[in-house]
């Protein structure tokens, strides 16, 4: 018998029951979000005496910036699903608390300014980390940048600028509450078709079997392979020389062109083209995989999906998005799967 259990701390208060918790993450954004629904009033104990509990307006107990830790699971076996800070509070009964992950600190604790004729994406992220105590940064794939000007930029501004210059090929997201990761998701995932290599050692693998630990009617549909696409990248180096490179799908009839002018390495530009090609030449499934709360899974993870009734769905995928929905009616982990990598 599975019994849903939770341990939620908001500021200096701990809750073991809530009406609902939703957690949302994506590899396309560093902002992890959590929404906690609580009753407007409750008996609150301060100290060790349970008989001293007083009826209070719960909304008044919290303020913006209070630390939030959400642990969820079955039968007391809990996983930390979210760690962040109170962003805003709603009204009504019940009411909702909106919380933001460590991107909250990137926005409010960082201010960078200056001109950098040459700097890498990793060096910029390390400048951000110096202003956020406890923040860890892993740069799996770096980008040499040219002519970067920052005017009181916060950490989110820096991430947006890196992603803009990389034409969206670099993903920068949190793989743990205080651990920011930067790299080419699909290019790295396709290396040797193995996610257990050292390059991906910080990620885990999760296995799902349709109809066993995930719901049969999950909303997944098989995506038919479309016409192959080749990506062509045009750019200019610091010397003023124009460069042109392309991804490996050389015989594709459809050509997609992008221009990048602040990346100072032709080999890296070629990697960017290959990353875009892997994303555009999508095979696998579309939709969302609805699973039970455990096993634990997060964005960036590799998942192996097995479906005895439909072999086209079976395969290995990258998790691009993850949503946890926990409440009185049950708990689900809803995954957005990217391209099939094996």
Report whether pLDDT(51) > 70.
Answer: no
Show Cβ contacts of residue 55 under 8 Å, excluding neighbours closer than 6 positions: 41, 42, 43, 44
Q: Do 106-183 and 229-280 come out as alike in CATH topology?
A: no
- Superfamily designation of domain 106-183: Baseplate protein-like domains (3.55.50.10)
**pLDDT for residue 287:** 77
**What does the domain layout of the chain look like in residue ranges?**
4-101, 106-183, 187-224+283-314, 229-280
The model's pLDDT over 183-231, given as tens digits with 9 standing for 90+, comes to 988 877 665 444 444 444 456 678 898 888 888 656 677 766 566 778 8
**pLDDT for residue 238:** 63
Look at domain 229-280 and name its CATH class.
alpha beta
Mean pLDDT, rounded, for 144-170:
93
* pTM of the predicted protein model: 0.88
Most confident of 7-16, 130-139, 186-195, 202-211: 130-139
- Considering only CA atoms, which of 177, 170, 176 is closest in space to residue 125? 170
The model's pLDDT over 159-185, given as tens digits with 9 standing for 90+, comes to 999 999 998 899 999 998 999 999 988
Report whether pLDDT(303) > 90.
Answer: no
**pLDDT for residue 197:** 43
Report whether pLDDT(342) > 70.
Answer: no
Choose between 147 and 123: higher pLDDT: 123
Report whether pLDDT(132) > 80.
Answer: yes
CATH code 2.60.120 for 4-101: no
Q: For residue 16, what are its two tokens?
A: 């073991």
How does the average pLDDT of the chain come out, rounded?
85
For residue 281, name the pLDDT band (cuts at 50, 70, 90). confident
**pLDDT for residue 82:** 97
Show Cβ contacts of residue 93 under 8 Å, excluding neighbours closer than 6 positions: 39, 40, 41
The model's pLDDT over 60-70, given as tens digits with 9 standing for 90+, comes to 888 999 999 99
Report whether pLDDT(19) > 70.
Answer: yes
Choose between 246 and 298: higher pLDDT: 298
Choose between 112 and 237: higher pLDDT: 112
For residue 254, name the pLDDT band (cuts at 50, 70, 90). confident
């Amino acid at each position: 018998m599975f019994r849903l259990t939770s341990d939620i701390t908001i500021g200096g208060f701990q809750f073991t029951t809530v009406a609902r918790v939703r957690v949302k993450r994506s590899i396309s954004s560093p902002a992890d979000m959590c929404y906690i629904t609580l009753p407007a009033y409750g008996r609150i104990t301060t100290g060790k005496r349970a008989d001293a509990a007083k009826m209070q307006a719960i909304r008044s107990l919290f303020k913006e910036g209070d630390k939030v830790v959400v642990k969820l699971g079955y039968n007391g076996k809990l996983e930390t699903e979210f760690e962040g800070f109170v962003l805003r509070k709603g009204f009504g009964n019940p009411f909702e608390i909106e919380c933001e992950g460590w991107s909250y600190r990137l926005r409010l604790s960082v201010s960078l300014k200056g001109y950098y004729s040459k700097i890498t994406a990793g060096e910029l992220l390390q400048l951000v980390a110096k202003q956020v105590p406890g923040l860890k940064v892993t740069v799996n794939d770096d980008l040499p940048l040219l002519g970067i000007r920052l005017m009181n930029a916060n950490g989110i501004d820096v991430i947006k600028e890196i992603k803009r210059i990389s034409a969206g090929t670099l993903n920068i997201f949190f793989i743990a509450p205080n651990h920011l990761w930067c790299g080419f998701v699909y290019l790295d995932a396709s290396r040797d078709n193995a996610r257990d290599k050292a390059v991906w050692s910080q990620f885990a693998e999760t296995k799902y079997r349709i109809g066993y630990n995930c719901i049969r009617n999950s909303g997944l549909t098989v995506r038919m392979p479309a016409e192959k696409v080749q990506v062509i990248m045009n750019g200019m180096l610091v010397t003023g020389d124009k460069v042109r490179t392309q991804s490996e799908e050389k015989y594709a009839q459809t050509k997609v062109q992008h221009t990048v002018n602040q990346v100072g390495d032709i080999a890296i530009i070629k990697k960017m083209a290959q990353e875009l090609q892997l994303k555009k030449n999508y095979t696998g499934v579309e939709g969302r995989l609805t699973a039970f709360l455990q096993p634990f899974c997060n964005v960036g993870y590799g998942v192996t999906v097995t479906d005895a009734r439909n072999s086209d769905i079976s395969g290995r995928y990258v998790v691009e998005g993850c949503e946890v929905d926990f409440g009185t009616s049950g708990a689900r982990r809803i995954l957005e799967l990217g391209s099939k990598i094996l």
